[in-house]
Amino acid sequence: LDELLADGVEGRHVLVRSDLNVPLDGTTVTDDGRIKASLPVLKKLADAGARVVVMAHLGRPKGQVDPQFSLASVASRLSELADFPVTTAEDTVGSDAQAKASSQQNGEVLVLENVRFDPRETSKDDSERGAFADELVAVVGGDAAYVDDAFGAVHRKHTSVYDIATRLPAFMGDLVKTEVDVLSKLIENPERPFVVVMGGSKVSDKLAVIDNLIGKADALLIGGGMGYTFTAAQGYNVGKSLLEKDQIDTVKEYLERGKAEGTEFVLATDVVWASAFAADADHEVRPVESLEDGKIGAEGLGLDIGPETQKTFARYIAEARTVFWNGPVGVFEMEAFAQGTKTVAQALADTEAMTVVGGGDSASAVRNLGFDDDQFGHISTGGGASLEYIEGKDLPGLDVLGA
Ligand code: 3PG
């Protein structure tokens, strides 16, 4: 980005891809982390007098206009937070976008409507995506520059992330650069001990990440819904807990590989065992060896790591020099099952070690539990993108920038 700024952008259109995919409750943004993270690059460009046009997606509309996925309320939150003028277009490449872009003032930021309202954005057909890219270029003019600042979308081979970068001079935004710097250090050169806490519901979503971390991390602490497949792989009954039976053999193989390659798997030794998946469910703490043997029995399910496991996890985190955390270790949205996730978040907040929170629900979990972003070293804006980066996959949005 500095290279582009050094060239001078005053009066020039700059098309920026931001990740403004935030959770909404009706028209209220419930976590504006990604909007805040997108502001610095927009401000730098606006301050330099560029005519900034922002492309972004919201949710997964089915390639057509769908008001519940309109970026209007996101843009209005952006405008509240920004100290530069923000306007919005009612369409993406239509007459409103064209008219507003052509009458844009220097230093003004124009937010286009959801790029996914056009089916070509996510098309698998190169020429369809290319045609959409050409229409986006027509909105800003052929002498515009492109900046990709949407780290959360770099794993998508979509028009606004990929094809557009083949048509305009393309630059990496500061947010993407920071994410890449932090995550690459994490997997290539972490200070040791390097401890990873993994949670979330589906083990199948995390297998590739675990696979790539074996031999790199010193310890992998496993909690959340995915943890019960590990408990089952140890030979214990897990009642009605989340379980992916078809992954048990892979998990067993990983446990063996961990031993051989110097990565210790730290699994739950006790669990908060509940009578139902409900905030007011009856619950008790059970050791993993006999989850089904208490008053709740085999109809129960695990909804959080137990107090002994929480202590163990906190100790590993306290002794680490680098910590990566992905995914809540319990159903933190329900008070009775939030303590495990709170303990992990607190342990990360307390340590002097480099801490990275990333992927999926972890960032909203820490914010919803009342923690501030500045209590952590880095909160990644990526969900799937951070995980795919850590899996070591090629990411189209980075490849096209030559990164
Ligand atoms: C995310 O929320 O992880 C990014 O914005 C990408 O969204 P997507 O998974 O719908 O492509």
Q: How far apart are CA 285 and CA 142, in angstroms?
A: 63
Give the domain ranges of the chain: 2-172, 179-391
Structural contact between residues 265 and 255, judged by C-beta atoms closer than 8 angstroms: yes
198 Cα–ligand 1 center, Å: 20
What is the reported pTM? 0.90
The question of whether 360 is a catalytic residue gets the answer yes
Residue 236 has pLDDT above 80, yes or no: yes
The tens digit of pLDDT for each residue in 75-89 reads: 999 999 999 999 999
Calculate mean pLDDT across residues 126-149: 98
CA-nearest residue for atom 4, ligand 1, is: 152
Calculate mean pLDDT across residues 263-281: 98
Q: Average per-residue pLDDT in the chain?
A: 96
Q: How far apart are CA 229 and CA 242, in angstroms?
A: 8
Residue 364 has pLDDT above 90, yes or no: no
The tens digit of pLDDT for each residue in 258-271 reads: 999 999 999 999 99
Residue 212 has pLDDT above 70, yes or no: yes
pLDDT confidence of residue 304: 98
CA distances from 221 to 174, 177, 239, 268, 269 (A): 31, 28, 22, 8, 11
| Residue 360 annotated as part of some ligand binding site | yes
The tens digit of pLDDT for each residue in 12-57 reads: 999 999 999 999 999 999 889 999 999 999 999 999 999 999 999 9
Q: Which of 17, 18, 21 to mutate to test the pocket of ligand 1 (most atoms within 8 A of CB)?
A: 21
Among candidates 116, 159, 127, which has minimal Cα distance to 20? 116
Region of poorest pLDDT, from 202-206, 311-315, 334-338:
202-206
Q: Percent of the chain beyond pLDDT 70? A: 100
Question: Where does 179-391 sit in CATH, by number?
Answer: 3.40.50.1260
| Residue 367 annotated as part of some ligand binding site | no
Q: Using alpha carbons only, what angle is made at residue 214 by residues 209 and 216, rounded to the nearest 5 degrees?
A: 100
The pair phi, psi for residue 322, each rounded to 5°, is -140, 135
Do the domains 2-172 and 179-391 sit in the same CATH topology, yes or no? yes
Region of poorest pLDDT, from 22-31, 95-104, 174-183, 250-259:
22-31
156 lines ligand 1 (CB under 6 A): yes
Q: How far apart are CA 137 and CA 148, in angstroms?
A: 14
Give alpha helix (H) positions in 65-196: 72-81, 95-102, 126-140, 174-188
| pLDDT band at 367; cut points 50, 70, 90 | confident
21 lines ligand 1 (CB under 6 A): yes
pLDDT confidence of residue 360: 61
120 Cα–ligand 1 center, Å: 17
The question of whether 34 is a catalytic residue gets the answer yes
Structural contact between residues 285 and 272, judged by C-beta atoms closer than 8 angstroms: yes
Atom of ligand 1 nearest to the CA of 57: 5
The question of whether 306 is a catalytic residue gets the answer no
Q: Which of 49, 63, 94, 384 is catalytic?
A: 384
Residue 346 has pLDDT above 90, yes or no: yes
CA distances from 137 to 55, 146, 165, 324 (A): 12, 10, 10, 39
384 lines ligand 1 (CB under 6 A): yes
pLDDT confidence of residue 359: 66
CA-nearest residue for atom 6, ligand 1, is: 153
Q: Topology of 2-172 in CATH?
A: Rossmann fold (3.40.50)
pLDDT confidence of residue 363: 84
Among candidates 2, 16, 61, 58, which has minimal Cα distance to 161? 16
388 lines ligand 1 (CB under 6 A): no
Instruction: Give the ipTM.
Output: 0.98
